[in-house]
Amino acid sequence: MEVTQTPTANAAAPAAAANTRDTGINLSSDFDTFIKLLTTQAENQDPLEPIDATEYAAQLAQFSMVEQQVKSNDLLTALSSQLGAGNMAQLASWIGMEARSTTPAFFDGNPISVTSKPAPNADEAVLVVKDARGAEVQRNALPLAAQDVVWAGVSSDGTPFPTGQYSFSVESRLLGEVIGTTAAQTYNRITEARIEQGETVLITEGGGTLTTQAVTGLRAPTDSPV
């Protein structure tokens, strides 16, 4: 008995297969569509050359893997958002606090506390002060013991320095020679917390910025009860 192939059936099979390939991306979000395409492909296959059942199983397994990957990606995205929101909620309590770091400090006429740590073998230490442009504006002698010192923000004739950002470093000397220079730490009041390119950034008074990783200490504002 001769079996005659109908043009419609022959044309539908490759069309269904093509649709399966063309809509591969959309299948990851619509499992029902994938099942309908497989059903259409089965109904219109060539009776003389039916598609192997293992091919159906392979297609189904491939789609299942894609679907699971999409779900995993969605879960990771949601988890990341939750962690980011939780991190921001935690950082909300930092607003108004003073963070210690080596970033420049904002001077508004009030003295600035500077953490001084000269080299252990130094016989002389100097506090070097620079303005926002990086120009050196003052040098003050420091005690050799590690301790917090106060920078008054006034020149040798008693004239206050302009308001702005100032950076501090400790220059250690031995027998008149510089043996090391390290950035000194100061406290800055936190006014804002942001997430920029996936990283939490703290905005300090005066417009300075630092990351949470750069913070080495946190305290209540000095003008508030501790």
DSSP code at position 29: T
Mean pLDDT of 165-177: 96
Nearest alpha carbon to residue 150 among 180, 123, 129, 173: 129
For the chain, the distance separating the N- and C-terminal CA atoms, rounded to the nearest angstrom, is 99
Residue 201 neighbours by CB distance under 10 Å: 15
Check residues 187 and 36 and name the one with the higher pLDDT.
187
What does the pLDDT read at residue 60?
A: 65
CA distance 226 to 153: 25
What does the pLDDT read at residue 34?
A: 66
> With pLDDT > 70 as the criterion, what percentage of the chain qualifies?
62
What does the pLDDT read at residue 186?
A: 95
What does the pLDDT read at residue 212?
A: 84
Beta strand 185-196 pairing with 98-101: antiparallel
SS3 35: helix
Assess whether pLDDT exceeds 90 at residue 2.
no
Any residues with CB less than 8 A from the CB of 216 and at least 6 apart, and which? 100, 101, 185
* Residue 120, CB-side half-sphere exposure with 13 Å CA sphere: 0
What does the pLDDT read at residue 211?
A: 87
Assess whether pLDDT exceeds 80 at residue 54.
no
Check residues 89 and 187 and name the one with the higher pLDDT.
187
Residue 57 neighbours by CB distance under 10 Å: 10
Q: Which of 25-39, 50-64, 81-95, 190-204 has the lowest mean pLDDT?
A: 25-39
What does the pLDDT read at residue 79?
A: 47
Any residues with CB less than 8 A from the CB of 21 and at least 6 apart, and which? none
* Residue pLDDT, tens place only, 200-211: 889 999 889 988
Mean pLDDT of 133-143: 96
**Residue 225 pLDDT level (bands cut at 50, 70, 90):** very low
What does the pLDDT read at residue 1?
A: 44
CA distance 139 to 128: 5
Name the CATH architecture for the domain at 95-219.
Answer: Sandwich (2.60)
CA distance 184 to 113: 10
* Residue pLDDT, tens place only, 68-124: 666 666 655 554 554 455 566 777 788 899 999 999 999 999 999 999 999 999 999
Q: Which of 10-19, 79-88, 185-194 has the lowest mean pLDDT?
A: 10-19
Assess whether pLDDT exceeds 50 at residue 27.
no
Average pLDDT, the chain: 78
Mean pLDDT of 52-80: 64
SS3 183: strand
pTM for the whole thing? 0.59
